[in-house]
Amino acid sequence: MKFLVDAQLPPALARWLACQGVSAEHVSDVGLLAASDAMIWEHAAQSGAVIVTKDEDFALWRSVSVSRHPTVVWLRVGNTRKAELLQWFEPLLPRIMAAIERGETLIEID
């Protein structure tokens, strides 16, 4: 399983995920920092990555897409400092991983 962290979230989230033993990259790592949502979607679909985002557009696309890829983890959290975001996210990771393993394609976290 591989995560692609979207631009509204800090690269630190991808680094933290990698430290947890999960393959993760930030869009800036793959040259997609200024890319359109469509380009990010296509990259994730082709590489088998799970998009981690705060962008509702990805959630809407996921809800109408007939394809099973990519999976979207939609974080419904307001603006927070990096440390607070990571602290909030940490206990949620097992729930997210379990949902992905069950085959859920849109995982909404609030």
Structural domain of 23:
2-109
Task: Supply the CATH number for residue 63's domain.
Answer: 3.40.50
Q: What is the pLDDT of residues 27-63, one digit of tens each?
A: 999 999 999 999 999 999 999 999 999 999 999 989 8
**In this structure, are residues 44 and 50 in contact, taking their beta carbons and an 8 Å threshold?**
yes
**pTM of the predicted model as reported, rounded to 2 decimal places:** 0.95
User: What is the mean predicted confidence (pLDDT) over 60-76?
Assistant: 90
Total domains present in the chain: 1
Instruction: Assess whether pLDDT exceeds 90 at residue 13.
Output: yes
Return the half-sphere exposure (C-beta side, CA atoms, 13 A cut-off) of residue 53.
Answer: 24
**In this structure, are residues 101 and 58 in contact, taking their beta carbons and an 8 Å threshold?**
no
- Among the residue ranges 5-9, 30-34, 57-61, 100-104, the one predicted with the least confidence is 57-61
User: What is the mean predicted confidence (pLDDT) over 56-78?
Assistant: 90
